[in-house]
Chain A
Amino acid sequence: MNRQLAMVLDLNKCLGCQTCTVACKKLWNQDQGTDYAYWNNVETAPGKGFPRLWQETGGRNADGSVKRGEIPSLDADYGRAWKFNHDKTFFKSNGPREWLKPESGTQWGPNWDEDHGAGAYPQENHYFYLPRLCNHCTHPACLDACPRGAIEKRSDNGIVLVNQDQCHGYRFCVEACPYKKVYFDPKRQVSTKCIFCLPRIEEGVAPACARQCPGRLRFVGFLDDPAGPIHKLVNEYKVAIPLHPEFGTGPNVYYVPPLSPEGIDDEGRPTGKPRIPPAYLESLFGPAVHDAMARLAAEREKTTRGEGSAVMDLLIAYDWSKNFALDDARTREVI
């Protein structure tokens, strides 16, 4: 039975609080060797992202063909975990104390260009938050790159896993993933990646990043479940689309693209054009973004007119239990 678990993230609701990032990090990546690894991160778009320039350094060209990817630099692309001068700031008894600051030079980090965005202020400045995790692709570039067959795509739920007993730490998967969502643990000398919180899934509990999201912007379920939120948002309402579909890996994390207010001209009058350029969104989500945004805008209009909208009701998450449909009799609410 080939089934695919998937996630939808409504970018109109993400406020960049990083609760998902912390929930994931606390659960899976606190050991030495994983300190720089964020299976889930939230980056500001437009921006260079995390790891830096990930959209340019993966193992796929814009036409989906294979190219040699790069392993990001720990300092320049991921950013080393910062160590602060706590002793000199808080515990020094003699002489002037220092302000709290990183002890070593810093070049980049998981949230380095937060809120920078793009566009001239105040006419057209804009940004939005882009939460990212492994896409558990239908055709995983990481799996294709592993010469040892250490990466498996499960048939019962489509989750992509690294068998760490089989992994010899060659890192072709890190190179090849066009989303740069495979990390190398240099202490244990193996690759690691998001496991879609498989142990939680097996207990009928949504992944930590989704369950902990205060904005209720994440939806989890099977793509082929017509009663679930994923099938509705992706296949029925067609308002959720994948990131960089042109890479050709068939990502199974989908995004509801962000609508944005109008820009203004030099006199402060609305221009009628959205602040986030549609062309930029197309560069992220492909041409399907335009139809998705048009449908979304139409549903918003219906709601404004008081007609009601099943799409908006689902996205607003009035009933949070509808965000998750794990098709498991044991599905339950657990933190």
Chain B
Amino acid sequence: MKTTVTLIAPPTAMQPGGYIATAYADRSQPGTSRADLEVQESTAGWTVALRWRAPQAVIDATDNPRQFIDGAALFAPTVKDAPWISMGTPDMPLEGVLWRADRAQPWRVSAQGLGSVQRAEAPAGWTTAARYANGTWQLTFTLPAFAALTVTRQLGFAVWQGAQSERAGLKSVTPGWINL
């Protein structure tokens, strides 16, 4: 499938702790308003391509505590229609893959609610190919085995623009699951 998705900013009021909800109460617009999505399934597994505008790419922050790095993540629910904006639950976890612009390899990620994301080295064969040109990121995930997606056939994704200090729950996400 191939589509363009209008993204939203998750409500900061739901963020864990008392600081973010108050300090970022005025953040209602996503840093990335829309992204192109292309998903292909084959006998070799899944290929998911994302494309979004990023006026400034941030691929390194090793020398600047103020700098945040561009990133993107795909998630699929392990149980169909698990909560997406609140990142799953212990009974309905999410599984996914996280790309960050400063890393050659993606992380495998899982979540059981807000603030619960666990990162781990990706399985062999999980790769990303990222290219930044003309103010646009083009990112392709190659995922030979993505069990949650294969089972539920639902996908959500998030994009972080480092230049806008996006990180954690300050991100642009699909409004809900995309049914494949």
Contacts and interface: CB of A to CB of B under 8 A. Distances in A.
8 contacts: A145-B17, A145-B23, A147-B16, A148-B16, A172-B19, A175-B19, A183-B65, A186-B65
Contact of A141 (B19, B67, B168): B19
Contact of B19 (A71, A72, A74, A144): A144
Given A147-B168, A186-B61, A186-B67, 12 more contacts: A67-B22, A74-B65, A74-B66, A141-B19, A147-B169, A148-B168, A168-B167, A168-B168, A170-B168, A172-B19, A175-B23, A183-B65
A143 B115 CA distance: 13
Contacts of A143: 17
Interface of B: 15-20, 22-24, 61-68, 114-117, 119, 167-169
Contact of A171 (B15, B65, B116, B169): B65
Of residues B19, B114, B117, which shows the largest number of chain A Cβ atoms within 10 Å of its Cβ?
B19
Contacts of A171: 65, 68, 167
A147 B119 CA distance: 15
Interface string A138-181: 00010111111100000000000000000011111011100000
Interface of A: 33, 59, 65-69, 71-74, 78, 141, 143-149, 168-172, 174-176, 183-184, 186-187, 189
A172 B153 CA distance: 34
A68 B24 CA distance: 7
Nearest to A173: B19
Contacts of A147: 15-17, 20, 114-115, 168-169
A149 B18 CA distance: 12
Contacts of A170: 167-168
A145 B66 contact: no
Contacts of B68: 171
